[in-house]
Structure 1
Amino acid sequence: MATVLDQFLAGIAELVKTRDGAKLQDYLQIEPPLPEIYAQMINELRQNYPASKDAELQRRCEGLVPRSKGGSSWSAFPVFMKLYFAFLRDVNVENLLETYNLLKGLLNQCIIALGDSQMGVIVLPTVLYLSKVMAKLAMGLDRRPELIAHLLRMEGRSDEENMEKVTLVEQSANVVREAFIKCLTDRSGTPGPHGKPEGRRIGIYLMANLCLKLLFQCGKLRNAEQMFASISAQSPPLAHFPASQRVTYLHYLGRYLFWNNLFFPAMLALEAAYDQCHRQGLNQKRVILTYLIPCNIIMGRFPSAALLQRPEAQGLAERFIPICRLIARGDYIAFREHLAVDSPATEWFARKGILLALRNRCEILVWRSLARKVFIYAGFHGDSGPQAQRGPPPFLYLNKLEAAVRWLQAQHAQPSSGTTGSEIIFKSPDRDFAGIKGYEVDGGPQSKYDDYINPDSFFDEHGVAQENPTGELVDGNFETDFSDYELDPYADRLGDETPTPMMREIESILASLLSQGLMRGYLTHRNPRFAIPGARIRGPLPTGFPNVWQTIYARESEDDSVPGWVLPPSAYPFGGIGGPAAGAAGGGRVVNLKGARPAGAGP
């Protein structure tokens, strides 16, 4: 009478013969609770094939694959099957770390079996299944490290310095990446952007998505860079894959680009993921919007009321609307306080990984709004009379903007100047330097030139560092008049009025806005002003303060390709040459110049 193990092996052999990978994956279950028949097979394995008989067990597994003159045509598969039976026989689910290590070894061998050019595709569903189980276990342990802390100590891995935290999740990502490479480098069918997914290549985005999920979980996004580069060079177009794979991949790609401050391509990827997501996938859509909305806010496009009223946007309005209002208000202090480390709103943004991008990239928009409001109420908008063409262009005296900044500081009870920070960026004094106010030197000269003529240390004429503990004058006489050597960019201005430090900071901020194209015009340093030439046709506001989103879109859309997103060749100008997939086989990066004539040579 045939045992359960005999019947199981016969079933596996038939599935290999018929190349039924999906049914094979159904057979090779490992997640508890397993059906009763597996419990019977495990008892048979423990009785007839203990660990001492692993060689005999492998010989039985070698009969599962067709044989050729040189032996087994797929030698990696019997080894995998032996490890599978050993896993069922030996696993102790109470020891989670041991379970993880056994599972990782089993998956590694399955990936080796996947690498066979003829038969490997049969185990692709099994590789994906085992990868998901390992990922689930690794992420669960990552959230509750106390479950395996004692096991790590027993292995001598408790030393924090030596562990340098290659976590179980990162280890899992490295294993899954190997499966991804096996799928990506399969040469069956037509390679490159002209091909369609065949053979193991149907698993490219299945494995990529799982690997990206693990990398995002452990915060090792830099490790994804090579994945996206390889996909751009070797993958078939993303459009050839199922919608679920497309949406998941574009979501992770968009978040990766957002993390790298590539906001426009990130917006394109996230927007495509949102548009292609199933209408009933509300949770998935909400996750995508969590990154798509701040991506647009940074580029000056606020979410509409209609978008925020959709079911998938529930709860997002209370997160993002206050930021939009603060940007429009132009209150840079309230904006900083809202996104400060100790703000109640900060935790959610930090957990989603969007806090720093919002805080660092949106403040320049706040300053633009403040400058625009001051110009509306206190600026010169141009002469509308018959002498308009001869009159000065619209302008704003920057001392009025300075007055508005000081008024904001007064509203928030912040001093206009402090001992720490700058006129605009006020910082609380560092407790490590409490009590240090000003610059005092006992027994030596005190002036703003002390750093030059009375330093603590200096380099002599031979370039050798010398200490100066006695406070000896190093360079020149203290009585020397250094006024002719003033390192002040405004020293040559006419008049006695010297710009305040705040005015210099305001000029720097406006210069940044001008260089980014978010304001248009020029600055004058003498009697500081912001002028808006060429405003007669469109008016001073549209000319000097162009729409932020339209400005950024016009600049960024000149190249709307998204790194890591492979489109069909027809989607690129000139048949895809120069697009993201350029460089793939047949993609156009390598040109054969054999037999080419010199330039100018006749036919």
Structure 2
Amino acid sequence: MAATPILDQFLGSVADLIQKRDGAKLQDFLQIEPPLSDIYQQMITELRQRYPPGSQSDTVLQQRCEVLVPKTKGGSSWSAFPTFMRLYFTFMRDVNVENLLETYNLLKTLLNQCVLALGDSQMGVVVLPTVLYLSKVLAKLAMGLDRRPELIAHILRMEGGNDQESVEKVTLVEKSANVVREAFIKCLTDRSGTPGPQAKPEGKRKGIYLMANFVENCAMLSRCFPVSVPNLPPLAHFPASQRVTYLYYLGRYLFSNNLFYPAQIALQSAYDQCHREALSQRNLILTYLIPCNIIMGRFPARQLLQRPEARGLAENFDPLCRLIIRGDYLAFREHLAVKSPSARWFARKGLLLTLRNRCEILVWRSFCRKVFIHGGYLGDPQAQAQRGPPPFLYLQKLLDATRWLQQQHNIQTVNGNSNGHTGADSYEYGSQTIRHTTDPEYSGLADPDAVTAPDTDHEILEKYGDYLASDGYFDEGGNWQDNTPGNLIDGNPETDYEGCEFDPYADSGYGDEEDQSSLLMREIESILASLLTQGLMRGYLTHRNPRFAIPGARVRGALPTGFPNVWHTISTREKEDPHVPGWVRIREPTRLGAAAALGGGGRVVNLAGARPVGAQ
């Protein structure tokens, strides 16, 4: 029988670490990632020679691992840990790194057993660093496998069964995060240490935010780690590295859910607490903190963009801020178009669609403000308050400015910079401010005479024959009817629907230039109404003789009153609820609590001998 000196030495070291409850050193011992050192290769050789694959060998190996566990105070042993160590040795013995899927399954089984060992009330905290280590390795392997769907196609087929479309596909990364979530719950529900939600975390509760950061790092926060987790300890009790990481991922989660003000608070706190020499981490935080502020109307200062940690950000955010101030909504859309070179960086960071959707209203505000400055009535400062109208802007001037802006882009198109806009040309229907290209599916419907009957157009039948002339159909009674001749299911449109009108804009009445201007005026009124509703502009609209008026501007002036500071408006409204979802802070003592602590309150009063009110 082969000797195992390396394995014996390894088991002795593990037993000593368990006795000392040194979890960090234990994690250093339990290495699995290649390339492994020569000492591990020798131990693997001993395992293959002394304990080859088989149930009998695994039983003997299990018995050797059981001596590692000391007896607890209750007299029971830590039964989950010997099984974990046996799985660790069999993993090292049997793993084939060339077979990634088999490696994933073995590693997932090992992590599951380690999570079970973590659940022990007294000794579980020893394997907490090992759980984190195995989770990171499993996540990297899962992400690699998800990028190679051909290796896991059979798994998806087995999970989905025959109906592939009705079953939601769960990626391997999600499955890995679910395993880590179980470890997070075990840390969260640990009852060791000082009780109370505001108490300093001890034992396994120290790993709560480490687990949360790992799940967030797997991009699974929205599905595997809810923001409103009960009984979370205050974040201030944890090290700075865990605080910064958690606040960064929390800010990104809130940003992706359009909670920009709470996201700004979380990201700003992460930036303030991050070490000044951690330039890459601070750069990553600024990548999402700056757009969060831009959406709320606060642009980055030049001093901020000149800092070392802001390298590469000015060239992306500075042109965007200039376009918002400029008020050219067409240039803004071109800058953030999907195929625009300037938009690639934003798309890679996951910011493109949010900036496009949230910043365009700020562009329109700047556009309206400039038109008001150059073409509006700013009011007579010498007039009395009872005399003269308030400052106002005729919306016809805003309409003319919009047409002029479209003409400017039409000139750029003529010069060779194709941008897909037709300038001041009137659109038949739809948006009058933005020209949308015709859907290819309906491109032939612009000329009704060019549309041929489906029964004679072989090209249409070849493309849509399975729908227009399928093998059968269900009649009004729900009975299946065969369509052997291959007739059109819905009939011939030229003969059966000759008297029907399918054009939704046929009776709209818009056609001449005046009607098109009316469409544009309605769209401009809608944009201004949105700005007024959001508080980004102040005043009112008149529909007859369309105007935008700014009452109460005699003291402060027309511009400060009608176009208030965007950041101040939003922050004032959002400050009413300072709570940031997912961020647990240390509660400040109330006046009643402070008085009770000083002996001025909270005393028990015996009312057994008290008489009713009014009794003599």
Structure 1: which amino acid aligns with 2:40? Answer: Y
Normalising to structure 2: TM-score of the pair? Answer: 0.80
Give the percent of matched residue pairs that are identical in Structure 1 and Structure 2. Answer: 66
- Residue in structure 2 matched with residue 50 of structure 1 by the alignment: 52
- Residue in structure 2 matched with residue 145 of structure 1 by the alignment: 148
- Residue in structure 1 matched with residue 222 of structure 2 by the alignment: 222
CA shift for structure 1 position 40: 2.0
Task: Report which stretch shifted further, 188-197 or 534-543.
Answer: 188-197
Task: Report which stretch shifted further, 380-389 or 317-326.
Answer: 380-389
Q: CA 1:602 to 1:541, structure 2 compared with 1: closer, same or farther past 3 Å?
A: farther
Residue deviations 1:75-126 (CA, integer Å, cap 9, x gap): 1111101001101111111212211211111111000100111110011111
Do the aligned residues in 2 keep the contact of 1:193 with 1:567 (CA within 8 Å)?
no
- Residue in structure 2 matched with residue 102 of structure 1 by the alignment: 106
State the distance in 2 between where 1:69 and 1:300 align: 61
CA shift for structure 1 position 8: 1.8
- Residue in structure 2 matched with residue 565 of structure 1 by the alignment: 583
The answer for unaligned runs of 5 or more in structure 1 is 443-466, 475-485, 489-495, 577-595
- Residue in structure 1 matched with residue 427 of structure 2 by the alignment: 418
State the distance in 2 between where 1:154 and 1:111 align: 24
Residue deviations 1:454-484 (CA, integer Å, cap 9, x gap): xxxxxxxxxxxxx99566799xxxxxxxxxx
- Residue in structure 2 matched with residue 432 of structure 1 by the alignment: 441
Do the aligned residues in 2 keep the contact of 1:416 with 1:423 (CA within 8 Å)?
no
Task: Please tell me whether residue 390 in structure 1 is matched to residue 392 in structure 2.
Answer: no
Do the aligned residues in 2 keep the contact of 1:517 with 1:551 (CA within 8 Å)?
yes
Q: CA 1:126 to 1:535, structure 2 compared with 1: closer, same or farther past 3 Å?
A: same
Do the aligned residues in 1 keep the contact of 2:187 with 2:205 (CA within 8 Å)?
yes
Structure 2: which amino acid aligns with 1:425? Answer: I
| Match 1:83 to one of 75, 83, 87 | 87
| Match 1:133 to one of 137, 143, 149 | 137
State the distance in 2 between where 1:66 and 1:263 align: 52
SS at match of 1:530: strand
| Match 1:33 to one of 32, 35, 56 | 35
Do the aligned residues in 1 keep the contact of 2:181 with 2:225 (CA within 8 Å)?
no
Residue deviations 1:144-177 (CA, integer Å, cap 9, x gap): 527xx35756997799948964323222211111
Do the aligned residues in 1 keep the contact of 2:270 with 2:285 (CA within 8 Å)?
yes
CA shift for structure 1 position 541: 0.3
Q: CA 1:497 to 1:335, structure 2 compared with 1: closer, same or farther past 3 Å?
A: closer
| Match 1:274 to one of 271, 275, 289 | 271
State the distance in 1 between where 2:268 and 2:590 align: 19
Normalising to structure 1: TM-score of the pair? Answer: 0.81
State the distance in 2 between where 1:192 and 1:167 align: 37
Structure 2: which amino acid aligns with 1:31? Answer: E
CA shift for structure 1 position 526: 0.8
- Residue in structure 2 matched with residue 492 of structure 1 by the alignment: none
Q: CA 1:332 to 1:433, structure 2 compared with 1: closer, same or farther past 3 Å?
A: same
State the distance in 2 between where 1:155 and 1:507 align: 51
Q: CA 1:287 to 1:174, structure 2 compared with 1: closer, same or farther past 3 Å?
A: same
- Residue in structure 1 matched with residue 524 of structure 2 by the alignment: 506
Structure 1: which amino acid aligns with 2:231? Answer: Q
Q: CA 1:57 to 1:498, structure 2 compared with 1: closer, same or farther past 3 Å?
A: closer
| Greater relative CO (CA pairs within 8 A, separation 6+) | 1
- Residue in structure 2 matched with residue 7 of structure 1 by the alignment: 9
Structure 2: which amino acid aligns with 1:505? Answer: E
Q: CA 1:524 to 1:241, structure 2 compared with 1: closer, same or farther past 3 Å?
A: same
State the distance in 1 between where 2:279 and 2:593 align: 37
The answer for unaligned runs of 5 or more in structure 2 is 411-421, 452-490, 502-506, 595-606
Q: CA 1:523 to 1:192, structure 2 compared with 1: closer, same or farther past 3 Å?
A: farther
Do the aligned residues in 1 keep the contact of 2:62 with 2:86 (CA within 8 Å)?
yes
CA shift for structure 1 position 487: 11
State the distance in 2 between where 1:113 and 1:69 align: 17
Equivalences, count = 528
CA shift for structure 1 position 503: 0.6
CA shift for structure 1 position 66: 2.2
SS at match of 2:445: coil
State the distance in 2 between where 1:60 and 1:537 align: 87
SS at match of 2:393: strand
Do the aligned residues in 1 keep the contact of 2:145 with 2:152 (CA within 8 Å)?
no
| Match 2:69 to one of 61, 65, 69 | 65
- Residue in structure 2 matched with residue 362 of structure 1 by the alignment: 359
Structure 2: which amino acid aligns with 1:198? Answer: E
CA shift for structure 1 position 18: 2.0
Structure 2: which amino acid aligns with 1:18? Answer: K
- Residue in structure 2 matched with residue 481 of structure 1 by the alignment: none
Residue deviations 1:242-289 (CA, integer Å, cap 9, x gap): 111111110000000000000000000001111111111111111111
State the distance in 2 between where 1:575 and 1:518 align: 42
Q: CA 1:429 to 1:154, structure 2 compared with 1: closer, same or farther past 3 Å?
A: closer
Q: CA 1:178 to 1:574, structure 2 compared with 1: closer, same or farther past 3 Å?
A: farther
Do the aligned residues in 2 keep the contact of 1:419 with 1:429 (CA within 8 Å)?
no
CA shift for structure 1 position 225: 5.2
Structure 1: which amino acid aligns with 2:215? Answer: C
Structure 2: which amino acid aligns with 1:432? Answer: E
Structure 1: which amino acid aligns with 2:365? Answer: R
CA shift for structure 1 position 437: 3.0
Q: What root-mean-square deviation, in Å, do the aligned CA atoms of Structure 1 and Structure 2 show?
A: 3.2
Residue deviations 1:11-39 (CA, integer Å, cap 9, x gap): 22222122121221122111222232222
Do the aligned residues in 2 keep the contact of 1:299 with 1:549 (CA within 8 Å)?
yes
Do the aligned residues in 1 keep the contact of 2:427 with 2:516 (CA within 8 Å)?
no
